[in-house]
Every structure is written in structure tokens, then in C-alpha cells.
Structure 1
């Protein structure tokens, strides 16, 4: 089995232009760009044959090559990270058994999230795509609700049914719980972790599918699979004491830097 990790990164983000090149300061006081920290996270995953950064921007390419990453240039026409992964896989000209999309805004992704994801997809031959979900405790759920109360797009939540098949993903907090939870109490809300593992055939087909109304409304690329009736596997992962958050907005920078310091991550 061969595994490719692609880190899609674009400069022209609607919500946060230039996001991949934002500097994040770790516990040692040194600043490294978001794209470098995401690449370092990818390099810690075991059982992976190749890691590439995929971008359409020369500024990102220059920075990524400067810290030692392999870069695959892809088209400005890619509408999201999944389309960029599909193009990168095609450009490389080598067919991998599994292609992982480790998005360039998730530098806190632990290696075991990705390893569990790959194992989950291998164990479920009927799934076209797998993605990790992390059960929220009360503290995390309060953070989600607070972000939405202030009009910020925070983390994405997921609901799934029998066989851990995804039912829906949303930037709203779902399901509705109607009660308060203590900080360390498990809740029925699952944080969707922005990592994907695809089977090559489904990934290659994805750019040819139309953007559906749910994907357009939510701005969530994985909904295209659901709108096409394709099975999406949710793999529950364990935090093991680690904090996790994606960099979605400028307001997330101090939150992620605080997490880096808390975990003593340089």
C-alpha cells in the first residue's frame, strides 16, 4: 500500500488572504509559517511514502522549498483543497493507493489522527473517503458556541449514523443539545477535523461533479461527496491530551499560539 500526503495551500483565501504564510510562534519563541508547521505535522505521520505541498502561488512555493518541502504547482482554477489534491495526484503521474489531504491550516493535527484515518479507510473497502472526528468536551463545545454567537466561523461539526457513515457536516453546531456541559464532560457534538483520505478513483472523479447547493451554502468541500451519494466514513480519533484547532480567521492566531505553548511545541 502506498500513501501520498498532499498539503493544499492557496494565498488568495477569501476569509484570510495570505494565510499559509502567517507566522506562528511556538514555545521556544521562534516563529515559523503556518505552511511549514503543517508540513512538519505531515512529516511525523508513519507509513507515508511521499509528502508534497500543492499550491498555485509562487510566494508559497518559494517559502515551502526554502524549508525543504517538495512542491507541486497546480492550477488557480482549483475551487478547493480536494480539487487541488486531485490535480496534484494527476500531475505527479504516480498512482498511490491512498491520497491524504492534510489541509495547510491545521498545524496542530497529531500524527495519530492521520494514521487512524488511513487504517479506517483500509478497513472499509466500500468507503470512498474517510475523515476524522473528535468528540467535544464541554469546554470545546462552549468555544464553538461562542464563535457562532459572535459571527465567527469556527470549527466544523459532523453527525454520522450506522457504520460511522457521515450524515452531514456543518459550520453550525450540530446536533442541538439543549443543555449545559461541564468543561471536562463528553458531549454528543463531534468536531470535524479537516483531514481527508481518498481512494484515487473517487478523488479523480470529484472535480467533474457539480458543486451542489449544500456545498455552496456551507462552503464545505466534503459535502460534494454526500450530495453525490458517495459514502463518507467518519473515523473517531482520540485527543490524548492534545489540543486541536484549525486556523480559520485572524482571531485564531493567538489561540493556536497559546496551544503551541501549552503543549510545549516549538
Structure 2
């Protein structure tokens, strides 16, 4: 299976302009994501899809490959599809790894690639990891996913799902009584997607779905259209950087793994 990893990366992020070039432990954020993708077993080529010459210059400066895409594209998925078309090569699987995930682990990327390789009928894949503590369940930026017995996504939400009906888990003082086995039912979605090329093209032609617009979660467009999404489980947390205040947590996670000082 020939796999392309695309890292969508735009300069004009509303809450964090210039985010891909923000220094994370001494390197541009996008470099961390690029190097993680390049180290992942099963990935054949890695490119950054960007709309800004400054990002492209930085990527080429650390030895990476950049593909210029239209600034008007509405999402990272559209940018991923545009990069695939611009390359003009044949791939069996296309990864969309969000460029603001500096702590994305190569083994997480590899797990998603393996999922797509082992299930050739699967049109889409993604990844999820455990929650470290009950407090994280109430962070709307920590997206939750519920899966079926085949490890395929049933739903994604910013709210804590599943709901524990016979528990005080959603009361303000629930934390001292939550059992570890209850926390294990919650899975944290990570910012990584895999597509078959035809699925990627079909997805970008779909109109945004009302559920997607309510939760601001693009993957709900696929589920609403009946596109199955397999979920690879990984032990490795990856933290998205949305605002400057998120940098410290990402650096701490990289230090914990011995990748940064």
C-alpha cells in the first residue's frame, strides 16, 4: 500500500496567526509534525500543503517538501485533496495530519496506516487514545469518540460521551467517585485521518452537514453520509495547539518523551 501523508498548514489562523512557524522547543511547529510523519513506518511520502510562501520556505529549509494550494480552500481536508491532485501521482492511502499537532507520535501514524492496510474495504480511518483523567472529559477541545464492536466510529462529540446514566459522573463533585473502569469507556480522538483517494475526493464534494456545523467537527459529515470511519487505538496522546497558551503543554509532552529539552 503506497501512502502519502499531507500536512495542511495555513498562516492566517484566526486565534494564532503564523501558528505553523511558532517555535516549539526550538523548532517550527510544522517541523515536529513533518518529522513524526516521516518516521512513521508505512508512510512513503510526506508533504506540507500550504497557502503561504513563508511556510513553504521554512519547510524547504529543514529539508521538507511543500505544495502550494489555493488560499480560498475552506478546510485542511480540501487542502489535502488539492495537494494529492497537484502531485499527480497514484497513492492507495492519503493521510491528513493536522499541522498543529507537534506531539503526534510516529507510532500513532503507523497504527492508522496499518488499519487501512489490514482493512482494504475501509474508506476512512482515524486514531484515538485513552483519557488520562476525568477532568479532560469536560474540555471541549478534547474530542470524544464512541466506537462499535468493529472499532468503527459511531459518533464524535465535544461533549462527554457516552453518558453514564447510573453514575454521578456529570455532577460537579463526581471526580472522587469515578472508577477507572468507567474512564476506560471514553476515547479521545486525535487529529489524524486516512482516506482512500476516491473517498477523499467524494468527501470534499459533500455539503457541510448540520451535525458538523453544530459540533464544528468535520468528520461528522462523513458519518452522516454513511462513510465508515475505522478507529485505531494508540496509547500516545497528541495535543493540538489552538492558541499561544497551548504551546507550553505541547513542549512538556515532547520533553516527557525525551524529544525536547
TM-score, with structure 1 as normaliser: 0.87
Q: Distance in 1 between matches of 2:103 and 2:161?
A: 23
The aligned residue for residue 142 of structure 1 is 135
Q: Distance in 1 between matches of 2:100 and 2:210?
A: 25
Preserved contact between residue 103 and residue 195 of structure 1 (Cα < 8 Å): yes
Report the more deviating stretch, 181-190 or 7-16: 181-190
Once the two structures are superposed, the pairs formed by residues 58-77 of structure 1 within 5 Å of their partners are 58-77=53-72
Q: Distance in 1 between matches of 2:32 and 2:124?
A: 25
Q: Distance in 2 between matches of 1:110 and 1:21?
A: 19
> How far 1:248 sits from its partner (Å)?
2.2
Deviant stretches of 4+, over 6 Å:
182-185
Q: Distance in 2 between matches of 1:214 and 1:221?
A: 9
Q: Distance in 2 between matches of 1:128 and 1:94?
A: 19
Q: Distance in 1 between matches of 2:181 and 2:155?
A: 26
In angstroms, what is the RMSD of aligned CA positions?
1.9
> How far 1:127 sits from its partner (Å)?
1.9
Secondary structure of 2:230's counterpart equals strand
Once the two structures are superposed, the pairs formed by residues 1-266 of structure 1 within 5 Å of their partners are 1-25=1-25, 31-137=26-132, 139=133, 141-145=134-138, 148=139, 153-177=140-164, 178-179=168-169, 180=175, 181=178, 186-239=183-236, 243-266=237-260
> How far 1:121 sits from its partner (Å)?
1.6
Report the more deviating stretch, 124-133 or 2-11: 124-133
Secondary structure of 2:129's counterpart equals strand
User: Relative to structure 1, is the Cα distance of residues 184 and 261 closer, same or farther in structure 2, using a 3 angstrom cutoff?
Assistant: farther
Deviations 1:70-126 (A, max 9, x none): 101111222211111111001100010011111111121111111111111222233
